Structure 1
Amino acid sequence: MLNKETGPSKTAQDDPSWDPEWIERRFAGILECNFENCGELVAILGNKYVQEQHEQDAYGQWSQTYGEVFRPLALLPAPLPIRPASDTPDLVKAALREAAGLIWQSAEGAANQVRQAVEHLMDEHGVTKSAPGAFKTLDSRIKEFELKDPKNAEILLAVKWLGNSGSHAGGLTRDDVFDAFDMVELVLNNLYDTTTADIMAKVKAINNHKGPVKPTP
């Protein structure tokens, strides 16, 4: 991992009141996925700081130390923090990938893209963006969707509120966006993951036959 102290950070060391926490460095590097049969490479860059830390030894005595803190600002390609169901619509996945790229730079921008993924999801489920003579808000679209799927509508409404907060600087944190990702993942699994249904179908077939079910020739 390459890292180097900035010019202003070096100059600041001439200040009589200088403190190690004033140190600022830039870093860049390559990360490699260690999942089997993957090996994807991700470029990463950001800032590196020195932060005061306090440690307590076995005797209860405290000491002051300094540790390094890495703060990523960009990852390319940015990994998705969730695993959408394989049948998730392409436009929904594209908006989520855009959000994943933004989350390291702007929590607000990322939240808006997650919100856009919800808009695309409503499109996929036939909840139109407009009515005769009027434009539908996402709130009204989710309430319309609630008529046929109240459980997932409740989750999407929470995502919408987080997305709304993304329209205001400082309105939410990166952790809030990760929460929104988790909520969307739950909805996508509810809507598009057939694993549970497939397994239960096999369970019922085995119970009906009281044993293994042979495939139809």
Structure 2
Amino acid sequence: MKNMEEGYREHLTPQFFMPELPLIQNFGDCPKRVREMIESASPVLWVDPSSAANRLRSSVEALMDWEGIPRRWSSRAKPYDLSLHRRIQRFKDAKPAFSKAADLLLAVKWIGNVGSHGSAIRVLDVLDAVDILDRIIQQLYDTSAARIEKKAEEIIARKGLPASHIVSLPVPPF
């Protein structure tokens, strides 16, 4: 390749990472099965983005399971399987506080559907789904804000002194 002064630059596209790169950094209190499904997409992302997309879709199924949204529904006639789309809608109806998260879940479902049905999907499309899942996990399971607020309260209560020094401080008589 010619140098950049002549208008060309080198362009490399990764095809494999060993060990695989983590797709999400902070899972908070995310259910183990959901986390496992998301993590299972990482090793195949660069070699088979469709498979990675399918695994992310499966993580949405696992999330619906965790949230208690049934896979089957019984009507008067007979029981039937609920589509993931209907399960997400039921999640939205059951938990209106997470309405925005439900809308985001639909986006991941659609990307997963494209990957599941053999259509061409790009790594960037799958990474979009990962970004969306990351946001969903923050909305549903991230406890870092509460943990940080509790930590601040403790520091204020001990007036900034290190916690290890608190046990050794003499208690003044009243």
TM range (shorter): 0.7 to 0.9
Greater radius of gyration (CA): 1
State yes or no: 1:81 paired with 2:23: yes
What is the DSSP-based 3-state SS (H/G/I as helix, E as strand, rest coil) of the residue aligned with 2:14? strand
- Greater relative contact order (Cα < 8 A, sep 6+): 2
Cα distance between partner residues in 2 of 1:65 and 1:131: 59
Q: How does 1:21-32 map to 2 (within 5 A)?
A: none
State yes or no: 1:187 paired with 2:136: yes
Runs (5+) with no aligned partner, structure 2: 168-174
Q: How does 1:106-121 map to 2 (within 5 A)?
A: 106-121=48-63
Letter in 2 for 1:137: S
Shift of 1:54: 7.2
Shift of 1:53: 5.8
| Contact 2:28–2:137 (8 Å) recurs in 1 | no
| Contact 2:56–2:112 (8 Å) recurs in 1 | yes
1:154 corresponds in structure 2 to 103
Cα distance between partner residues in 1 of 2:8 and 2:132: 39
For 1:142-188, what per-residue CA distance to the aligned partner results, in whole angstroms no more than 9, with x for missing partners? 00111212011011111111111112444321011011011111111
Q: How does 1:71-150 map to 2 (within 5 A)?
A: 71-72=14-15, 74-132=16-74, 133-147=79-93, 148=95, 149-150=98-99
Shift of 1:80: 1.4
Letter in 2 for 1:146: K
Q: 1:71 to 1:145 in 2, by over 3 A?
A: same
Runs (5+) with no aligned partner, structure 1: 1-51, 58-62
Q: How does 1:48-63 map to 2 (within 5 A)?
A: 55=4, 57=5, 63=6
Normalising by structure 2, report the TM-score: 0.75
Normalising by structure 1, report the TM-score: 0.61
**How well do the aligned residues superpose, as a CA RMSD in angstroms?**
2.7
Cα distance between partner residues in 2 of 1:64 and 1:200: 52
- Structure (1 or 2) with the greater helix fraction: 2
Cα distance between partner residues in 2 of 1:89 and 1:77: 23
1:47 corresponds in structure 2 to none
For 1:67-122, what per-residue CA distance to the aligned partner results, in whole angstroms no more than 9, with x for missing partners? 463532x3343121221423211111111111111101111110000000011011
Cα distance between partner residues in 1 of 2:3 and 2:106: 42
What is the DSSP-based 3-state SS (H/G/I as helix, E as strand, rest coil) of the residue aligned with 1:152? helix
Cα distance between partner residues in 1 of 2:144 and 2:11: 43
Matched positions, count: 153
Q: Which stretch of structure 1 is more off in the superposition, 169-178 or 108-117?
A: 169-178
Please identify runs of 4+ aligned residues in structure 1 that moved more than 6 A.
none
| Contact 1:84–1:93 (8 Å) recurs in 2 | no
